[in-house]
Structures are given as C-alpha cells and as structure tokens.
Amino acid sequence: NAFIKRVIGLPGDRLDIHDGKVFVNGHPLIEPYTLEPPLYPDPDWEAIGMPGGVVPRGCVFVMGDNRNDSEDSHIWGPEPMAHIIGQAVFRFWPLERFGFLPRAHMRYGHAS
C-alpha cells in the first residue's frame, strides 16, 4: 500500500509533540494545513524505535495532516527513506483548492 504523508523529521532531527504542537529541534512547526492540532502526548519514542525522539539515520518521520486520525510515524515509528516512492504534485480535495501543489519548501537546509 502507498500512503501520502508529510515528512516532518529528517535523520538526526529531534521531535517533540506536546501542547497541541509538533516541535522539530526545539522549534514549533507552523502547520496551517492540519485539520486540528495533535491531541495526543509525545509518542513512546523508545517503543517506536526513536530513543530520545531522534530520527535515525536513513529514516524520516512522517505524519498525516489529519493528526488525530492518522496512522503514521507517531504510531509505527520512523520510515526508511528507501520506502519513499515519490512526492505529491496535485491536490484533488477540497475542490476549492484543486490543482498543482507548491514545490516542497526548505527547512533547516533540507527539503521537507
């Protein structure tokens, strides 16, 4: 199965999720695209294979835009980069935003 998720953390990034916000390396992400803020605490980082909330080498941390109803890295852990098969380029829904997506933006010198 293929899923479309947002890359939130790159290898070496430290993640925290609390107070309805996602923090990457201590900086809160500005996420106007989410349906609602995450209403869950930090994941059990050890259990999902990310001691200290640090994304391991060769992996990314991905999340769905519907934070509270998304099967994503906060549940199943970091995703190996080798599993990435492409990038979304077109939006079908909602209809008022139908069209091509903007190119990936840069964060900390890396595309996300």
- Per-residue pLDDT averaged across 82-86, rounded? 90
What's the pTM value of the predicted model, to 2 decimals?
0.84
Structure tokens at 30: 């500005």
- Per-residue pLDDT averaged across 65-94, rounded? 90
pLDDT tens profile 62-79: 999 999 999 999 999 999
Helix (H, G, I), strand (E, B) or coil at 95: helix
The dihedral built from the CA positions of residue 99, 104, 105 and 107, taken in this order, carries a sign that is positive
Nearest to 14 by CA among 50, 65, 40: 50
